[in-house]
Amino acid sequence: MKLHHLILLCLTLSITILHSCSNDRNSPAPAPARKMTSELIKDHFQNKKQFDKTPESSKVLLEFINYNDDGDYFLLNAKKGKTVYSFINDKNEDRSLLRGDLVEITWKWDTIYIAGDSETPELAEWIVSIQKIKDGNVSVFRKQYPEKIPYSVIGDDNLTSEFKDKLYSLVEYYLTNSKKESVKQCIRNNQELSFTIEDKDEEKPPYIALGIYAHSDGQSKIIQWLWYSPNTDMLFECDKNLDKLNPFR
């Protein structure tokens, strides 16, 4: 095996170990499958309009997804199209980006140490700097709705605050990206909104039911039911008869 092939194989295995995470349903769900280092390098040289190579660092224009501060290293997840990338984010304390923001990330190779593997040093993509280029839909939505959307938990509230924050972000993301005309009309009319959280742990597999309400003239109307699967980190739209789940991406 050629030396550069061996190096790329080692990097892929080590980053895979770093990115493994728990499926605890009361913890933030794992990020989607990520593109590994060798593939990032391949894209870098195949698409020089998107990846501006410099001797010491590289720049890439991506859509921000989220921060993940739960592992040995802090991660920032972003995507290009349907492909998700992860960067080591330990040297960046800012947490102001919102899902969908267009960002320019400057990154470089630096060392990480794999926990549980005799602290073996490996190379990984470290963020040098990050700049927001354009507001995403959620950022635009928050300017229209500066106050937080109120919500209530139905039944026993055994969910962690971190998990409820994740559910809030999912509802916010849905409201700003839904194709349903009823939802878009509520946003255009700047209607008062709220939602409920209900743990459907009796379902197999378990789900979290999210009911989104619009309020007008003293009346409340359900505009959409969402179901979230903590096991798969997938969000579903319920049809109007509540008998079909459509994946929402």
The CATH number of whichever domain residue 78 belongs to comes to: 2.40.50
In a shared domain, residues 235 and 189: yes
What percent of the chain has a predicted confidence (pLDDT) above 90?
A: 58
What is the rounded average pLDDT of the residues 180-201?
A: 94
The pLDDT, as a whole number, for residue 117 is: 62
In a shared domain, residues 89 and 25: yes
**Long-range contact pairs involving 121-124 (C-beta distance under 8 Å, separation at least 24):** 122/10, 122/11, 122/14, 122/15, 123/11, 123/37, 124/11, 124/14, 124/15, 124/18, 124/37, 124/73, 124/88
In a shared domain, residues 130 and 157: no
How far is 21 from 17, CA to CA, in rounded Å?
Answer: 9
DSSP state of 151: E
In a shared domain, residues 75 and 88: yes
What is the rounded average pLDDT of the residues 22-47?
A: 43
Q: Which of 82, 114, 134 is the last residue of a domain?
A: 134
In a shared domain, residues 175 and 97: no
Q: Residue 129's Cα: distance from chain center in Å?
A: 19
In a shared domain, residues 114 and 145: no
Q: Which of 104, 134, 164 is the last residue of a domain?
A: 134
In a shared domain, residues 56 and 169: no
In a shared domain, residues 177 and 119: no
Quickly state the pLDDT bin for 99 (edges 50, 70, 90): very high
Tokens of 150: 């109120």
In a shared domain, residues 112 and 195: no
In a shared domain, residues 33 and 93: yes
- Please count the structural domains in the chain: 2
In a shared domain, residues 207 and 158: yes
pTM > 0.75: no
Q: Which of 134, 167, 182 is the last residue of a domain?
A: 134
**Range of 178's domain?**
139-248
The pLDDT, as a whole number, for residue 243 is: 74
What is the rounded average pLDDT of the residues 136-165?
A: 94
In a shared domain, residues 179 and 128: no
CA distances from 1 to 5, 150, 224 (A): 7, 58, 55
